[in-house]
Structure 1
Amino acid sequence: MFVSHRDEIAKRKLEGKGIKEVTKQVLVGPDQGWKDHVLRMFTLGKGGFAPLHSHPWEHIIYAVEGKGTLFMDGKEYPLTPGSTAYINANLQHQVLNAGDQNFVFLCIVPEFGDI
């Protein structure tokens, strides 16, 4: 059993090629008892973006705050609070902040995909 609040969970700033103004929090995963998947929260600051990439696992996105854009399979999709997306394995994709405030979204991946 596990109960917490996002404000109490450690944030890790991500850095690297193709990444700008991104922090990651693992809300629920193996350390909290969920052995098969990981629920992460990403915050993209103003002008922030994750890298354009693909990987051999599917995942789910749920927008929480702000405005974002999901670039997926050569198309752009606007994301606002309540937007959800399923991204197939091996599909090239990228998430960008499209507003003046933080863009916050949840992302669920299989445990082996939390890298």
Structure 2
Amino acid sequence: MKICSYRDVTPDREIPGVALHLVISAQDGAPHFAMRVFEVEPGASTPFHSHWWEHEAFILAGRGKLRGSEREWELAPDDAVYVPGDEEHCFINTGSEPLRFICCIPHH
């Protein structure tokens, strides 16, 4: 088992304005899924992209939008999000504070 604060995990900052904390991974013994915590700064977004795997997200703080290929959805704290595999998407921070969310994906 593992318990940690996402704040204790050094984030990947490859995407400008986005901090990705990989809090649980295969290296922790999780055989199927990874858990990540994203922090998207105001005005920033994750890249518009798609991939074969689905993922689930849970909005912890902030406001934003989930952009899909045909529409956008508003995001607020306590929202649960499902993104099917092969669906183009990105998370956009439209608020004045960081958009923070948990995202779980299968190992790929």
Taking structure 1 as the reference length, what is the TM-score of the superposition? 0.89
User: SS state of the match for residue 105, structure 1?
Assistant: strand
More displaced, 72-81 or 61-70? 72-81
Pick from 22, 25, 28 the counterpart of residue 21 of structure 2: 25
| Counterpart residue number, 2:8 | 8
| Aligned residue in 2 for 1:98 | 94
Coordinate RMSD, CA, aligned: 1.0
What is the CA distance between 1:73 and its match in structure 2?
3.6
Matched, 1:44 2:40: yes
Paired position in structure 1 for 2:71: 75
Query: Unaligned 5+ residue runs, structure 2?
Result: none
Q: Is structure 2 residue 61 aligned with structure 1 residue 85?
A: no
Q: Provide runs of 4+ in structure 1 moved above 4 Å.
A: none
1:54 aligns with 2:50: yes
Residue deviations 1:30-71 (CA, integer Å, cap 9, x gap): 111111110001110111101111111110011011001001
Deviation at 1:11, TM superposition (A): 1.0
What is the deviation of 1:29? 1.4
What is the number of equivalent residue pairs in this alignment? 108
Cα shift at 1:93: 0.7
Higher strand share: 1
Question: Counterparts of 1:97 and 1:47 in 2: how far apart (Å)?
Answer: 6
Amino acid of the structure 2 residue aligned with 1:3: I
